[in-house]
Structure 1
Amino acid sequence: MTRITRRTMLRGSASLAALLPFAGACAPAQVLSAVGLPSETLDGVRMAELISSGEFTSLDFTDAAIARAEKYNPKINAIATPMFDEARARAATSPTGAFGGVPTFLMDLSQWKGAPTIFGSRAFKDFVSERDSDFVAQWRKNGVVALGKSTTPEAGLISSTEPLLTGATRNPWDLNRIPGGSSGGSAALVAARVVPFAQASDGGGSIRIPAACCGLFGLKPSRGALIQEHTDEGVDLSIKHAVTLTVRDSAALFAAGEDADGGLAPTGMVTGPSTRRLRIAFAPDPNNGAALDAETRAGLERTADLCRALGHEVNDWTMPFDGVEFTDQFLLLWSAGAAGLVDQARTAHPGADVATLVEPWTLGLAQEFISRRERFPGAVSYLKAFERTYHDMFDGFDVILTPTVSTLPPEIGEQAPTREYDALRESVVDFAAFTAPMNVAGAPSMSVPVQWSEGGLPIGSMFSARRGDDGMLLALAYELEATKPWIGRKPPLLA
């Protein structure tokens, strides 16, 4: 089969289970003291330290994570393909690296040699990867133990993870709501404390949106910062990284995966806050006609006040470009990917009814591309020029603060791929009103979970900067995390 890219398309003891931070039960104080950390703060960095020191083995952590997956996945439906036997076999070899032996999940848009990669699509339900993608190869080198593939919407083309092939993935904070997309399965598994971090990717908001929905930290790195699959086609939107419980896991994964040939000065390992005070442009209002819900606005106002209290300069600001025009041009590029996926499905299944292979949302996007094909070169030119437009906005400040999404996580079904196309398109465009400009510009952007609704749902605060300023964002994230930590918040699923 043709290689597919996003663009075209316990065994552990009872005492150990109690000790691990994601088991859902409180560990005895005398056991916790042996580790020296409260259970809920045991992230991937700490797991790797405990494995390296010999206090625990990779198999200990892997078996405990599998037990948690078996307990919680029936409720959240976040695993597309379990790989538990392979994971145990790999853990038994004591893999080394920056995250040697730490269990995780890979997003099912990334190829891990010998594992199914189904892209959330009925068209590719039998596809098995013959190679590691470049990004995943780096994670393998870093020593992670892949427990399986996390669920995604079909080809990552929508902001909710409700594919027909595997069914709806649910948010651990409210099982009636979405975890976001396209990295929805990864975010749900991390929010449920099954693993401390999971692989994710972001072509239009797909790291930051699930992070916002699930109360996690999600950094979309700069274009060229991390090792990726490279392409010269159109506008390079997508970059792979992770959703994490802690900032330091994201920073350590970043440092371990930097691309020396990406055209950026190396960031290295960011280990904590900076004393630098930033000039922050506060732009809470969507500029594409979407409406911001009251609780999201209130949460963002609190984030702006928090930044002021920390000594940063925060000034009200408005995005200085036409958001309606940008959205129109971006969706034309996005729909070209859907059209490519439909073509690949037809090639892979000659004679089959394409409607039985790809979802109505994908078909609707593909039809939108076909009807507007003659405008595609102009859209590409507009979006390539937008990179300069975006970076020129930073002459008077360092960071832009916006919501990550315009509402609290919608209910399951609001963005289902079977919904009538025009209504679904409007819902997606309104919900994901803030994230795509940073993909087009190749700029770093992060969702930070420092706010929550009155009903206990997470609200993402999104900070974005110039391309190459990833380290500055990570330092700010450390400061926010230390000031208003979120690691102790657990979703009702774990109660």
Structure 2
Amino acid sequence: MGIGRNRMTGFSRREALLGGAAIATLAACGQTPSDAAATVPTGPVAAKAVPPAGWESGLTIAARIASGETTSLVETEKAIARAKAVNGDLNAIATDSFDQALRDAAVPAPGTFSGVPTFMKDLVGWKGTQSMWGSRAFVGNISQEDSPFAAAWRKGGVVSLGKSTTPEMGLISSTEPLVTGPTRNPWDLSRIPGGSSGGAAALVAARVVPFAHASDGGGSIRIPASTCGVFGLKPSRARLDKRDAANAPPVDISVNHAVTITVQDSIELFRVAETNDGTYAPLGDISTLNRPLRIGFAPDSISGTRVSPETTAALEDVAQLCRDLGHEVIDFKVPLDGKEFTDKFLLYWAAGAAEFAQQASAYSGKPIGPDIVEPWTLGLAAMFQARQSEMEDTIAYLKAFEAVYDDWFSDMDVLLTPVTGSPAVPIGEQAPDGDFDAVMESVLNFAAFTAPMNVAGAASMSVPLSWSSGGLPIGSMFSAKRGEDGLLFELAMQLEMTRPWIARTPPVSAL
């Protein structure tokens, strides 16, 4: 049940938490430029249904490689050039493996995305690449094999350009690890890109690659997708990566998938990694939603934390957009003691931090302390140590929560909430070496919405439909019951067609 003692090339945050084809971009967007003009949201940049010059979706690149129009080597060289052009500003690459990528691109593996360049998050192993898990303790650690999820992507044909940045073991909603320094948001370099898939979202938003690997244990796909203005779906538990019962944690909260620009890329990446072991029916054909849904609208925080006026206004606008599309939008108050839920989830999260600190010590040969483990991680570990007698009751509470969550959907199909309590906050506000209590307050206000879906194992997504008056993205979170990933994809395609975001590029862009 541990992180993986003596096999430090292949563990994931999930293990630390208690043990451990071608589709044209315009067609994928589903709308003509003239149609787009009538549905442009207010904001600093006018949205269009056509991609910016020089950008292509992953599926389009794969189709051009398959047809012989281009090669993986050419596309990989172009992506490396884009990465070098913007990473000085973004600091979103934890470890580059450009030379290895060029070798792989010479003979790419067959698959849906054969030859398409991307980045893997620094929480999974990719054979031959440094895996630090965002931590100083693991500098120089080279993965001897792919992690199971990474192996699925390799089989799908992707070419990895390296590892994207993540906070230490993905334990916070900003990406400012001490080992690499803060990653910055391409929409505003003074702001965070979110976490823990912050490097992945920043690189995709800046159009370095069309998609990148991401993972989500408490919001880590949806939060950076929201703050960076990209699309991010958190899959249902065990839909894409399933562990055997002997190694599964008591409550399996973390999943792997991707952040993308187009919904269609996300759908096909989902297919690449599906387990298809009988737990769920295969995803099947996905088309733009053509029936009305009953959407519960819950813009208020369940835990009483602050929600910014711009976030509330953006969500109200999206709720109206859903009404205009023919959906029934009903006001919904989440029937949950949010403070109790947050307290239980935080203790479970803290147990993962304590486990990680132990493994960092074992790997480095140094005692647990601030020279190998960040103050934020140490603070969480101390929280667990002080309250570990409560773990049995905490696990029982979290195990029972899926049924509680499912009851919310007795009279609705989808739940609409904010992703975060505000647009991206300034760099430093959630720094891992800041005052623990002050950082905790910021995290709880910022990341107040996403954890229930992780505990419930539910499908949930951030859709980039709004921007603040200052030009910062504001995602909208649509969530459903476990297994309803296809429904969310269909809704996402409808929203993408109606209010396209494909042409919205940030000030820091590789194009």
Alpha-carbon distance in structure 2 between the residues aligned to 1:350 and 1:477: 47
1:407 to 422, 429, 433: 422
Which amino acid is 1:485 matched to? P
Q: Which residue matches 2:131?
A: 117
Alpha-carbon distance in structure 2 between the residues aligned to 1:160 and 1:351: 26
Alpha-carbon distance in structure 2 between the residues aligned to 1:448 and 1:159: 18
Which amino acid is 1:391 matched to? D
- Asked if structure 1 preserves the Cα contact closer than 8 Å seen for 2:55 and 2:207, the reply is no
Alpha-carbon distance in structure 1 between the residues aligned to 2:181 and 2:329: 43
Q: CA deviation at 1:455?
A: 1.4
Aligned: 1:74 with 2:77: no
Cα deviations across residues 257-290 of structure 1 (Å, max 9, x unaligned)? 11112611211242x3121210000000001010
1:205 to 212, 219, 222: 219
Which amino acid is 1:72 matched to? V
Cα 1:308/1:7, change in 2 over 3 Å: same
Q: Which residue matches 1:43?
A: 57
Q: Which residue matches 2:260?
A: 244
Q: Which residue matches 1:12?
A: none
- Asked if structure 2 preserves the Cα contact closer than 8 Å seen for 1:335 and 1:366, the reply is yes
Q: Which residue matches 1:84?
A: 98
RCO comparison, higher one (Cα < 8 Å, 6+): 2
- Asked if structure 1 preserves the Cα contact closer than 8 Å seen for 2:468 and 2:474, the reply is yes
Q: Which residue matches 1:170?
A: 184
2:443 to 417, 420, 428: 428
My pick for the range that moved more, 121-130 or 348-357, is 348-357
Q: Which residue matches 1:290?
A: 305
Q: Which residue matches 2:276?
A: 260
Task: Give the 5 Å matches for 1:349-364.
Answer: 349-352=364-367, 354-364=369-379
**Unaligned ranges ≥5, structure 2:** 1-5, 17-49
- Asked if structure 1 preserves the Cα contact closer than 8 Å seen for 2:460 and 2:479, the reply is yes
Q: CA deviation at 1:435?
A: 0.2
Alpha-carbon distance in structure 2 between the residues aligned to 1:263 and 1:372: 35
Alpha-carbon distance in structure 2 between the residues aligned to 1:418 and 1:256: 38
Which amino acid is 1:140 matched to? R
Cα 1:78/1:38, change in 2 over 3 Å: closer
- Asked if structure 1 preserves the Cα contact closer than 8 Å seen for 2:195 and 2:224, the reply is yes
SS at match of 2:443: helix
Q: Which residue matches 1:127?
A: 141
**Unaligned ranges ≥5, structure 1:** 10-35
Alpha-carbon distance in structure 1 between the residues aligned to 2:232 and 2:293: 20
Q: CA deviation at 1:352?
A: 4.3
Q: Which residue matches 1:29?
A: none
- Asked if structure 1 preserves the Cα contact closer than 8 Å seen for 2:360 and 2:368, the reply is no
1:5 to 9, 12, 33: 12
Q: CA deviation at 1:229?
A: 4.5
Cα deviations across residues 190-233 of structure 1 (Å, max 9, x unaligned)? 01100000000000000000000000000000012113445422
Q: CA deviation at 1:330?
A: 0.2
Q: Which residue matches 1:234?
A: 250
My pick for the range that moved more, 260-269 or 191-200, is 260-269
SS at match of 1:176: coil
Q: Which residue matches 2:74?
A: 60
Q: Which residue matches 1:488?
A: 503
- Asked if structure 1 preserves the Cα contact closer than 8 Å seen for 2:52 and 2:503, the reply is no
Q: CA deviation at 1:141?
A: 0.3
SS at match of 1:372: helix
Cα deviations across residues 443-480 of structure 1 (Å, max 9, x unaligned)? 00000001111111100100000111100000000000
Cα deviations across residues 278-331 of structure 1 (Å, max 9, x unaligned)? 000000000101011010100000000000000000011111111100000000
SS at match of 2:358: helix
Q: TM-score normalized by structure 1?
A: 0.92
- Asked if structure 1 preserves the Cα contact closer than 8 Å seen for 2:138 and 2:364, the reply is no
Alpha-carbon distance in structure 2 between the residues aligned to 1:8 and 1:227: 13
2:322 to 294, 300, 307: 307
Which amino acid is 2:480 matched to? A
Q: Which residue matches 1:24?
A: none
Root mean square deviation, CA, Å: 1.4
Cα 1:376/1:255, change in 2 over 3 Å: same
Q: Which residue matches 1:151?
A: 165
- Asked if structure 2 preserves the Cα contact closer than 8 Å seen for 1:160 and 1:182, the reply is yes
My pick for the range that moved more, 350-359 or 379-388, is 350-359
Q: Which residue matches 2:413?
A: 398
Aligned: 1:182 with 2:196: yes
Q: CA deviation at 1:40?
A: 5.7
Task: Give the 5 Å matches for 1:206-221.
Answer: 206-221=220-235
User: How many residues are matched?
Assistant: 468
Which amino acid is 2:353 matched to? A
Identity %: 57
- Asked if structure 2 preserves the Cα contact closer than 8 Å seen for 1:133 and 1:229, the reply is no
Which amino acid is 1:345 matched to? A
- Asked if structure 2 preserves the Cα contact closer than 8 Å seen for 1:228 and 1:240, the reply is no
Cα 1:171/1:298, change in 2 over 3 Å: same
My pick for the range that moved more, 422-431 or 153-162, is 422-431
- Asked if structure 2 preserves the Cα contact closer than 8 Å seen for 1:252 and 1:269, the reply is no
Alpha-carbon distance in structure 2 between the residues aligned to 1:361 and 1:91: 39
Q: Which residue matches 2:384?
A: 369
Which amino acid is 1:115 matched to? T
Q: Which residue matches 2:28?
A: none
SS at match of 1:492: coil
